[in-house]
Structure 1
Amino acid sequence: MKVVKFLFCVVVALAAFWPSIGKVQASLVNPLKGAKTYKIFYNAPNKRMLSQLATYDFVIIEPYHYNATKIQQLQAKGTKVYGYISTMEAASWNQELMKRFAAKDFFYRGGKKVHYAEWDSYLMDITSVHYRGILMEEIKKHIVEKGFDGIFLDTVGDIDNEHTGSVLLQQRQGMKTFLQGIQKKYPNLSLIQNWGFATLKSTTAPYVDAIMWEGFHYKSVARDEWSLNRIRDLHALRKQYEIEVLTVSSAEKEKSTLLAKQNGFIHFHTNRGYDAW
């Protein structure tokens, strides 16, 4: 009995000095487990759209278009809500955000900023403490204070696509530090990573609840060696970390959807992009 009483006292003491322990334990359960449907929509919603968004198990949306009231309306129907944050790129359209960046926050190649003309965005340096700090401020203002359930971390795939050697390792470490910072400050926030399969496997898997595979088209995936290897990797990571896999197609709807479901992935199809309803 003395041992039992001692252990009880220890638990009580830990609860007093570590009030967030329950939250940490709760975060171990993947909130996307069992989800079957989701939608990505980055434009401003009207009442009809808001009502229809609430029919999905979870949605990925642009937080700039929403306030706390709208988020609560979605959650009241049981829908989990994830807000978009670009991690490795900064878009020129967001001038308010661009003004806050320092020169050291951008990634340079040959002394010049790396610019993506298609998106009019710039490659960022996730190893910059200042840059990570700005991202954390954005998360607080647009994700946490509005009551989102989680974050959709876009452009993580740039780490694998743009970097090699020691720079690749540094950028992965920067991303790890960033995710650890989110986990420490906001342990209840769920995280979804977009692309970056090698970075997921080597670095970020312990910190995210899901990874998204855009361009999951039957013709380019079903018999492609690289894709089949990634599918095998994802099955292993799901088993080890209970990560969910989200797939997106814009072609071959039936075949792409079936392939995703055969692998236990959660699929979304659109041939209109993410801005059109």
Structure 2
Amino acid sequence: MFWYDPLYDVKSFSIFYGNPTEQKVENLKEFDAVILEPTAFSKVDITSLKESDVKVFGYVSLMQLENWNEELKKHIADSDYAELNGERIYIEEWDTYVMDLRESHYRDALRWKIENYVIANGLDGVFFDTVDDLDYYFHEDQEMQQNMRSGYVSLLEELKSAYPELLILQNRGFDTLKTASKPYIDGVLWEGFEASDLQESEWAKTWLKYFKKEQLIGKVRVLTVVTDEESLKLSEKHRFPAFMRTGGTYQE
């Protein structure tokens, strides 16, 4: 094994996006790593977790702007919203808009968020969610998709240059990872890792083979989110640390 990934020692992790009680902070200390909503945790909470040798990652939505975040929206221009067929892409389920990663102004807004929510509070790394949008919404326009991915790479290069010790986790977006972001990513989260898919889906089988190899040679640490015991066992079999999601949200 040619392992050099900085997340190799992560054998367990948790995801929690709610407002923590003192007891919840104590519970999170049992894990090697935790992904959390950085605006919900105090500096005292973060310091307490880090003193217990927990690697702390702050949630950052790469491609979707949350309407609730009025502070971040102050840094957003009209040109930062992505469009398809001349219309903004609104995600009603989450009350978010898909953003245009080609725009340097939007990337600056993301950097502001990371520097003020993650770096300033002493977190170890960034967890980029919604990377899948790069693969999903723009696959019919390959030039736009490629330029979006190039924007993502530019952001990652800037972050790694400014903060060499900053760890970066990416949620799904497997095609984007393979073609663009892999050199900058320390770990990938396979949310929705399901044993049934890996029995029936050629897509899932192909990516399982790919990530087993990438992890073996130390290119990336693979983490999973599972919802049943069969999937948990399969993840453990492949040495992918798993988080068992038992509820509908990550706020329990």
User: Which category describes the TM-score, using the shorter chain as reference length?
Assistant: over 0.9
Structure 2 match to 1:51:
26
Say yes or no: does 1:136 pair with 2:121: no
How far did 1:95 drift?
Answer: 2.3
Query: Would you say the 8 A contact 1:205–1:237 is kept in 2?
Result: no
* Structure-to-structure mapping, 1:72-111, within 5 angstroms: 72-111=47-86
> In proportion to residue count, which structure has more helix?
1
Say yes or no: does 1:35 pair with 2:10: yes
Counterpart amino acid of residue 69 in structure 1: V
How far did 1:239 drift?
Answer: 4.0
Say yes or no: does 1:238 pair with 2:218: no
Distance 2:38 2:73 in 1: 17
Structure 2 match to 1:187:
164
Say yes or no: does 1:265 pair with 2:240: yes
How far did 1:189 drift?
Answer: 0.5
Query: Would you say the 8 A contact 1:54–1:74 is kept in 2?
Result: yes
Query: Would you say the 8 A contact 2:4–2:218 is kept in 1?
Result: no
Deviates more, 1:170-179 or 1:233-242: 233-242
Query: Would you say the 8 A contact 2:124–2:166 is kept in 1?
Result: yes
Query: Would you say the 8 A contact 2:224–2:235 is kept in 1?
Result: yes
How far did 1:242 drift?
Answer: 2.5
Give the aligned CA root-mean-square deviation in angstroms. Answer: 1.4
How far did 1:237 drift?
Answer: 2.5
2:200 partner SS: coil
How far did 1:53 drift?
Answer: 0.4
Distance 2:218 2:9 in 1: 15
Structure with the greater alpha carbon radius of gyration: 1
Distance 1:73 1:29 in 2: 27
How far did 1:30 drift?
Answer: 2.7
Match of 2:190 among 198, 213, 218: 213
Unaligned runs of 5+ in 2: none
Distance 2:250 2:200 in 1: 31
Query: Would you say the 8 A contact 1:195–1:212 is kept in 2?
Result: yes
Counterpart amino acid of residue 161 in structure 1: Y
The superposition leaves residues 140-182 of structure 1 with CA deviations (integer Å, 9 ceiling, x where unpaired) of: 1110110000010011111001112111111111111111011
Distance 1:274 1:40 in 2: 10
Unaligned runs of 5+ in 1: 1-27
Counterpart amino acid of residue 146 in structure 1: N
Distance 1:179 1:90 in 2: 18
Q: 1:61 to 1:157 in 2, by over 3 A?
A: same
2:180 partner SS: helix
TM-score, length basis structure 1: 0.86
Tell me how many residue pairs correspond in the alignment.
Answer: 248
Structure 1: 4+ residue segments shifted above 4 A: none
TM-score, length basis structure 2: 0.94
Say yes or no: does 1:168 pair with 2:145: yes
Query: Would you say the 8 A contact 2:5–2:218 is kept in 1?
Result: no
Counterpart amino acid of residue 159 in structure 2: I
